Amino acid sequence: MKKTTNQLIPSRAAKRANFDVETIYPILDEALFCTISYAMNNKPYSIPTSFVRYGDKIYIHGSVGSHFIRELDKGIPVCITVMLTDALVVAKSALSHSVNYRSVVIFATGEKVEDEKGKLESFEWLMDKIVPGSWNYLRPITESEIRRTAVLAFNLAEASAKIREGMPNDEAEDKLLPIWSGIIPLQTSRLQPIADEMSQQIPLPDHLSHIGNS
């Protein structure tokens, strides 16, 4: 039996909505960044940031002095969005063009991670997502860095995914027109690492050596 999140029915393209964690979690695990939106003093704010999922929560990090982090730490409601684009959908008419995508929308409130062990674990989860295999290679995080960095967790109980895939949905009267239609696949990939000035003579570590070679 599939595990699902609480169902919040989207107002548009509801047939594409999915509440199974088997659909939601892989999208969150592939995406490197999310956008967190909230309202304060009757003004909207929307902040992009890196994140990592572990279990049924996602985690973000930021400076303890960050205005953004301090606001979310108050437990205000937020909307978190993630989108992966897989292809441009080229139809026979302009208004039938579309995008193949996988997206997740989460409604949640932030929960501050207070204990040092929990914070360190979240740092490792995020680091090994952004640059896999790097955690044990890097200089260990200091006590001061831990104190200066806040970690917020957001529960995935109210999350939903939407997916669009496949070819264009041309109008019936357009299908036989002599106009090319189809998809243009898109791909995001890590390219060959480039050393900074101080690392020119340092061998590329094993966890980076395969990047950009495929």
Residuewise pLDDT in 10s, the chain (214 residues): 466 666 554 555 556 678 999 999 999 999 999 999 999 999 999 999 999 999 999 999 999 999 999 999 999 999 999 999 999 999 999 999 999 999 999 999 999 999 999 999 999 999 999 999 999 999 999 999 999 999 999 999 999 999 999 999 999 999 999 999 999 999 999 999 999 999 999 999 999 999 987 6
In-domain check, residue 1: no
In-domain check, residue 7: no
**Res 6: pLDDT:** 65
Residue among 87, 81, 103 at smallest CA distance from 36: 81
Q: Rounded to the nearest 5 degrees, what angle is found at the Cα of 13, between the Cα atoms of 15 and 106?
A: 90
Give the global pTM. 0.90
Q: What is the CATH number of the domain that holds 143?
A: 2.30.110.10
In-domain check, residue 5: no
Q: Which domain holds residue 120?
A: 14-209
**CA-to-CA dists, residue 86 to 15, 99, 126, 214, angstroms:** 19, 8, 23, 19
Residue among 145, 162, 187, 22 at smallest CA distance from 82: 162
Strands (E), 91-189: 98-112, 149-155, 159-164, 182-185
**Res 214: pLDDT:** 61
**Res 3: pLDDT:** 67
Domain count for the chain: 1
